[in-house]
Structure 1
Amino acid sequence: MVAVRPADVEATLSRIDTVRPVLLLFGPDSGLVRERARAYLAKAMDGSTDPFGLIRLDGDEISGDPGRLVDEAGTVALFGGRRVISLRAGSRNIVPAVEALLAAPISDAVVVIEAGDLKRGAGLRALCEGSPRANAIVCYADSDRDLSRLIDTMTAEANIPIDRDARAELMGLLGGDRMASRGEISKLLLYAAGEPRITTEHVRAIVGDASSLALDEIADSAFAGQPAEMSTAFAKATHEGMRADIILGSVCRAGQSLHQMRLSIEQGGSPERAVESARPAIHFRRKPLVEKALRSWTVPRLVTALLSLDDALLAARRHAGLGPSIAERALLQLATQARRG
């Protein structure tokens, strides 16, 4: 088997392997597949003066003409040097073409294949993992460690330090797709250009979904029994034009999530465990308030609160002009009940 272990990926991609000229990149993170392919192709082309040295092929076209891949890899470069081929797998079967390539006596060529999330035993994956002339690298969604390394690398390259709190905030807002994460960090660096440091304010302004953060703040403050904080967050949201029924709908969904977590607690779990196992994951900034809310409410009281919120939501939709007043009153009552609890 020539499947590259995760610990060996960086070392494998750091040099061109002439013994294994075929590189298969696949996995659930399409952004990371693309990023690694670009970097490896650039490394393979390093020093080449041939403007036609890089050949891009489409998998769906190759599937109808399996011999073309071998022909392209075996063609002598116009100005000498290495022949570099980029092949992007599509919806059709390219196994016969790759099988012929691996069996052909080709020298001084590099072929990089980009594919999707191939399951273990899938034809293309099994072929490359079992060949002594190919490397197969799976590209998983970024872990916290990967995101941390990406943030540190990009901020260092831009020569803009980032505060610890801002860094933690940014990691919580980034997802598992490498290209999307890189795009968000690039946007942040552009926004903070000229500033001495990147702060949480920069992150929240340009990366975080401001409306989503505001709704979370309203719901968390209300269920945690903090009426003053809830009122401040509510005023900010309505000032920015957010509708009352949208706010109440978000708080209802937060209450339903609390209800599910509280059920698990009453079956023998703990608030901490319920928060950690919640899906989608709860941002680290919200965890203290969510845990506090879970300790303040019981399942029957949450059911009663949700029914009251539903009534307020219906009233806010029927009487749009009074919507903000109806919503604020319902949320203040919710926060007061949480404090008593």
Structure 2
Amino acid sequence: MKATEARLKAALDRPPADIRLYLLFGPDEAGAMALADRLPRALGPDAERIDLDGATLRGDPARLADEAAALSLFGTARHVRVTGAGEESLAAVSALLEAERAGNPVVVIAPTLKATSKLAKLALDAPNALTLACYVPGVEQLEGVVGEIAREQGLRLAPGVARRLAGAGGGDRAVIAREIEKLALYLDADPTRTVTAEDAALDAIGADLGEVEASDVIDALVAGKPAALGEALRRMEEANVSPVPWLRALARRLASLAEMRGEVAGGADIGGVMKRHRVFFKEEAATGAALRRWSPAALAGALAIVRAAERSVMSGASAGNVLPAQAMIELASRRAGG
């Protein structure tokens, strides 16, 4: 079934017994992750989470339904999260929705999936699934998201603070949420005691990532300029910026290029493709060069590397910014020859 964001939040906060699957698809992976994080909070601190990905489900389509029906080893609540899903997960999701029983809720995050895909249509038609398309919010929408997260932490934002927080997180909800949590802790705020947050408090906790431009990293990688990329990454490191926002912004850029490159490979004119996708006129030259430089396979491979780097950072399994930065420099070096 198709869900509004409000309905989906309500269901994740109080999971109904008749919903087996929550499918969150579309380019706003950060927003989908933030929504997915509501489920474990609802299930309690002792809840067990089983993490799967699209590649695992492609190789073992029965795994998802099995995990959804399995009992927790510790007798606690249990849920399943699937990341990086796509059409390869169709058989697994179909088995889940058709299974005789499935007591553990499943959240599937599919950032590259479109509403016209077979997987999205399957979930939209299923009465035991809730489906939401997640799109990157505009500036005004993002400020509304910031305000909502702040209210949940017991914060009332002074004028201009929401915009600054939105910029500080690079548009990434997960990073923004962490900054707001730090702000609430600094001001000793909680949902039962509202405190006004002003610019001085942001200065005190150092929430000033907005000055750092991820676009330099993205432009250098897409153009295949490892030296420029290394310099941009060095500035990011000196500013102690989390790699998550620029990795997600880079993923969105590569996904957009992949969509356009697919049309070019199908015989469309590059100029016409850029016009249909409303490429900003100042970015037309760089975008056109990228569409000539990158093949569809190379873009797909790069996107997989970027998403893997992000998952590594989020899982805490990497040495901070070092491994993602090294992966990006190697990727740019590969493209330097055209």
Q: TM-score, normalised by structure 1?
A: 0.50
Structure 1 residue 146: Cα displacement:
4.8
One-letter code aligned to 1:14: D
Q: How far, CA to CA, are the matches of 1:100 and 1:211 in structure 2?
A: 45
String of CA shifts for 1:67-121, please: whole Å, max 9, x gaps: 2222222233345465422222346711111111111111422111121142121
Q: Quickly say closer, same or farther: Cα 1:72–1:28, change in 2 above 3 A.
A: same
1:140-179 equivalent positions in 2, closer than 5 A = 140-143=135-138, 144-151=140-147, 153-154=149-150, 157=153, 161-171=156-166, 175-179=170-174
Q: Which amino acid aligns with 1:46?
A: G
1:98: which partner in 2? Answer: 93
Which residue identity lines up with residue 144 of structure 2 in the other structure?
Answer: S
Contact residue 70 and residue 97 of structure 1 kept, 8 A: yes
CA–CA distance in 1 between the matches of 2:163 and 2:74? Answer: 50
**Which residue matches 2:44?**
46
* Cα contact 2:68–2:104 (8 A) shared by 1: yes
Tell me the distance in 1 between the aligned counterparts of 2:75 and 2:134.
Answer: 33
**Residue 105 (structure 2) aligns with:** 110
Aligned length: 209
Q: 1:138 aligns with which of 123, 133, 138?
A: 133
Secondary structure of the 2:60 match is coil
For residue 207 of structure 1, what is the aligned residue in structure 2?
A: 208
What residue identity is the alignment partner of 1:120? A
Q: What are the ranges of 5 or more consecutive residues in structure 1 without an aligned counterpart? A: 213-277, 281-341
Match of 2:118 among 92, 104, 123: 123
Tell me which residue corresponds to 1:265.
none
| Cα distance change on mapping 1:21 and 1:90 into 2, 3 Å | closer
Conservation of the 8 A alpha-carbon contact between 2:20 and 2:128 = yes
Task: Measure, in 1, the Cα distance between the counterparts of 2:188 and 2:136.
Answer: 29
Give the root-mean-square deviation of aligned CA atoms: 3.8
Cα pair distance change 1:203/1:89, threshold 3 Å? same
SS at match of 1:94: helix
> What TM-score results when the alignment is normalised by the length of structure 2?
0.50
Identity of aligned residues (%): 27
* Cα 1:137–1:56 shift into 2, 3 Å: same
Query: Does residue 88 of the first structure (1) align with residue 83 of the second (2)?
Result: yes
Contact map agreement 2:51 2:80 (CA 8 A) in 1 = yes
Q: What amino acid is aligned across from residue 97 of structure 1 in structure 2?
A: A
TM-superposed CA distance for 1:66, in Å, is 1.1
**1:181 aligns to what?**
176
Local SS of the residue matching 2:107: strand
Is this contact kept in 2: 1:148–1:171, CA < 8 A?
no
Equivalent residue letter for 1:39: R
Name the residue aligned to 1:19: 18
Using a 3 Å threshold, how does the CA distance of structure 1 residues 3 and 100 change in structure 2: closer, same or farther? same
Residue 148 of structure 1: how far off its partner (Å): 2.9
Quote the residue 2:51 is aligned against.
56
Answer whether contact 2:85 2:108 (CA < 8 A) is retained: no
CA contact (8 A) 2:165 2:207 kept: no
Larger Cα-atom Rg:
1
Partners of 1:166 and 1:55 in 2: CA distance? 37
Q: Is the 8 A contact 1:58 1:87 kept in 2?
A: yes
Contact map agreement 2:19 2:128 (CA 8 A) in 1: yes
CA distance in 2, matches of 1:130, 1:39: 24
